[in-house]
Amino acid sequence: MKRILCTTALTVGALIAAIGLPAGAAHADTAPRIDLRVLVVSDGGPSTDAIAAELDVAGTPYTEIDLTEADRPVIDAELLADTVDGRPRAKYQAVVLPSDNPFAAGSAEMAALVAYEQTYGIPQVDAYTYARPEAGLNYPVEGGYAGSLDGVRAEVTDAGLAGPFGYLDGAVPFEDNSPTVGESYAYLSTPVAGADFTPYVDAAIPGTSQRGSLVGEYRHDGRRELVVTFVYNQYQQQFRLLARGIVEWMTGGVHLGASRNYFAVHVDDVFAADDRWNTELNCTPGDVDCPDGAGTPDPIRMTPGDVTYATDWQDSRGFTLDLAYNGAGSVEHRADNGGADPLADRFVDERAEFRWINHTYTHAFLGCEQDTTVVPWRCATEADGSTRWVSRTTIGDEIAINRAWGESAGLPLENDELVTGEHSGMKVLPQQTDDNPNLALALEDTDIAWLGSDNSREPQQRQVGPSTTVPRYPMNVFYNAGRAAEQVDEYNWIYTGRAQGGSGICEDNPATSTCLTEPLDTATGYADYIVPLETNTALGHVLANDPKPHFIHQSNLAEDRIAYPVLNGVLDGYDALYADDTPVVNLRMKDIGTELQRRASWQAALDGVTAYRIGDAVTVEAPDGVAVTATMPTGTTLAGAAFGEAYAGERSGWTPSAGIPLTLDLPSSAPPSTAAGAAAVTDPAPDTYVPQGTREPAAD
C-alpha cells in the first residue's frame, strides 16, 4: 500500500517552505551554506554510540539527540535549517540514525528529515538496520542470512575500495575473542531487483554462492543512505576498521577533525639491568615486591647481540623504538668489569638508529621515601607523621646527571623529555596519594616540558609544574621476565585464584579483564595465549586514533626477546588490513604530547568554532590561539598552498587560526555540497519491520 509522507500530505513546495528556504531557492544560483556539523540521532544503542565516539576522538563536531529522553528537542524544520544573511543554511552536513527509520508510522520528524535530506543533498547513515526492501535489500529469509558473524572474514568490494573505504587492503575480519560469547550479529542480503544499491562491504552468504551486503549505499527518492546491517560497538575491530570510511562517506571527505593510526614503543631501563621474577618465591628478589633479604637478585641485561637484533628488526619494519636510558647502569657495569661495557659501546655505535629519552641516572624512586620493610611498601614518615619526600636536589641531580651522561655519549636527545623510574614522583595509589611537591620544582630547574606517565593510573594529560604528562600504555610483557616461561609463570600467579596458587587479584577485583580460569602451560602459554591477547589490545589502540605510546623494558629485548612476537603481531596485523597510503604513524614522545595537547585545546574550543561550506569553499573560524584540525580532499589549498599532509587518500592536519577566518579551497573533483535540486517526493521511509520468526538482536 502506498503511504503518504505524513498526515498533512505536504507537497514538495510546502516542504521546502517548511524547512525555511525562500521560494525557488532549491534552484537558485546562490549555493546554500552547509555547516560542518553532524546530527546524531541515538536510541541509546551501541552502534550510534560508536559513531559518536569516532566523531569525538577525531574532533568532528556533532549534535546528539537521544530518542529515549522525554525532554529531547523535536526534530523539525526549524532545528534542521534556517537562513543566515539571506542565504539558506543547512545546520548539519550529515544525519546519523539508529536505523533507516526509528520513528513511528507517519512521523512528522521523519518527514522533516526526508525533506531536509532531499533539499540539501544531505546523506544519512543507518547505523544498524534490518535488511529489507525499504533499505534497498531483500529480506534475509529470501536467500540471505541472519545470525552471528563471529570469526567471519568480510571484504571491501571494488566499489568500496574505489570509494570511502579505499584506505583498507580489502579484508574486514570480524572478531571472535571467545567461543562462548556471541560478539557480532548481522543480516546478509542482496539488493532488491532494480534498486540503486551499491555494496561497499560484503561477506559470503552461508549455504549459497552469493555475497550479502553489510555496508552499502542506497540511492532513492533524491536521498542517499549508508545502510549498515551488522551491530557493533566502538571497541570492536570490525567497526574500528570501517569507522573512517563511514565518516568520510557521510561528509564527502570534507569535515573538521582528523584521524590517524599511531604506534610508538618506549623501551625503559636501557643500560641498566632488570631484576628477575623468582618462580619459587613468586616475587622479584631485589625489588619491592619481595621482603628484604628474600632470595638473590638475578638481573637481566641486554647484550651487544640484542642491539644488533633490534637495529635489524627496526630496519626490516621501518619502525623506530624509543629508548629510555639510565646512564648509571653503564657506569656501574664498567666499574664491575674493568672498565668494559660492550653493550653500551654497541648502543653508542648505533645511537642514530634509535630515539632516546632521559629515564633518570639511577632509576631511583623519586616520590616519597619508601619503607620496604613491609610488603607492599609504604611511605616513610617524619616524627610528626608527615610524609618524608625525596628532595628537590636529588630529583634534579637524577635528571641532570643522566642528561650530561647521554650528551657525553653523543645520544641524540630531546632534553625536554623525561620518564622517571616507575613514573615516580607522581602520585602512586594507594601508598602515595599526592605528587612529591619537590618534583615540580626539579622539573622547572631542569627545563622538562614533557613527562611520561602511566596510562593505567592517569589516562588524562595534566600539568606537573612546567611539564605536561604523556600517558603511556603498559604492555603486559613484564619488566622482570627475559624468558617466555618466566613471563607465563608470573602471569599465572597474578591472574589465577588463590586455590590455584595465584595471587587472588581476580577474586578481589572481578572486573580484571585478564583473569584465567586455569593456569597457562609455561611451555606454550606465551605464544598461544599472551601474545595474541597483548597484540589484540595494542592493535586496538592503534586503530582507535590513539597516539599514546606503549612501554616495555630492555629485559624484553634480551634472552628470549619476548617483546618481538607482540610487536610483530601488531605491525603484521596492521599491514594485512591497511593500504600503503595509510601507514602507522610513529611519533616521538614530545610530538605525541603536542598532539594530545592540541586535541584537548580543540575540544575545549569546539563550541566556539564556526565552519561551513559554500560551493567549493570551506570557511573555518576558531578562537585565537587554537589550532584548527580538518580533513579535506586531495587538492585542497589554503592561501594557495596545499592543505595539510597526505594520509589515507586525503589531506589532514593542524593549522593555526590566529583568530581570523581560514578559507580552504576545495578541488573541482570534490563531491558537491548539495543536491542539484529537490527530488520528487514519493513514499517516506517506513517503520522498521522484522518478519515473523526472524530474531531482531538486542543491542550488545
Whether 293 and 247 map to the same domain: the answer is: no
> Does residue 449 form part of some domain?
yes
pLDDT tens digit string along 428-445? 999 999 999 999 999 999
> Does residue 63 form part of some domain?
yes
Whether 288 and 401 map to the same domain: the answer is: yes
> Does residue 680 form part of some domain?
no
Q: Is the pLDDT of residue 643 over 60?
A: yes
- Taking alpha carbons only, the member of 225, 228, 216, 247 closest to residue 684 is 225
State if pTM tops 0.95: no
- Cell numbers at 290, concatenated: 619481595
Torsion angle, CA of 273/587/624/622, rounded to 10 degrees? Answer: -130
Q: Which residues contact 70 (CB under 8 A, 6 or more apart)?
A: none
> Does residue 594 form part of some domain?
no
Q: Is the pLDDT of residue 11 over 90?
A: no
Whether 137 and 108 map to the same domain: the answer is: no
**Is the separation of the CB atoms in 679 and 223 below 8 Å?**
yes
Give me the pLDDT at residue 691, please.
37
Return d(Cα 491, Cα 281) in angstroms, integer: 14
Name the residue type at position 582. T
Q: How confident is the model at residue 514 (pLDDT cuts 50, 70, 90)?
A: confident
> Does residue 4 form part of some domain?
no
Average model confidence (pLDDT) for the chain?
92
Per-residue pLDDT averaged across 671-699, rounded? 43
Question: What string of H, E and C letters represents the secondary structure of 445-466?
Answer: HCCCCEEEEECCCCCCCCEECC
Whether 495 and 643 map to the same domain: the answer is: no
Give me the pLDDT at residue 669, please.
83
Cα 417 off chain centre by: 24
pLDDT tens digit string along 661-684? 999 999 988 888 765 433 333 333
Percent of the chain exceeding pLDDT 70 equals: 92
pLDDT tens digit string along 237-256? 999 999 999 999 999 999 99
Number of structural domains found in the chain: 4
pLDDT tens digit string along 530-561? 999 999 999 999 999 999 999 999 999 999 99
Whether 341 and 202 map to the same domain: the answer is: no
Q: Is the pLDDT of residue 3 over 80?
A: no
**Structural domain boundaries enclosing 15:** 10-120
pLDDT tens digit string along 316-367? 999 999 999 999 999 999 999 999 999 999 999 999 999 999 999 999 999 9
Whether 411 and 544 map to the same domain: the answer is: yes
Whether 116 and 132 map to the same domain: the answer is: no
pLDDT tens digit string along 51-106? 999 999 999 999 999 999 999 999 999 999 999 999 999 999 999 999 999 999 99
Give me the pLDDT at residue 674, please.
63
Give me the pLDDT at residue 291, please.
87
Per-residue pLDDT averaged across 500-514, rounded? 88
> Does residue 693 form part of some domain?
no
Whether 296 and 385 map to the same domain: the answer is: yes
Whether 148 and 170 map to the same domain: the answer is: yes
Mark which of 252, 284, 316 sits at the end of a domain.
252
Whether 547 and 439 map to the same domain: the answer is: yes
Give me the pLDDT at residue 679, please.
39
Q: Which residues contact 32 (CB under 8 A, 6 or more apart)?
A: 21, 25, 87, 88, 89, 90, 120, 614, 673, 674
Name the residue type at position 524. T
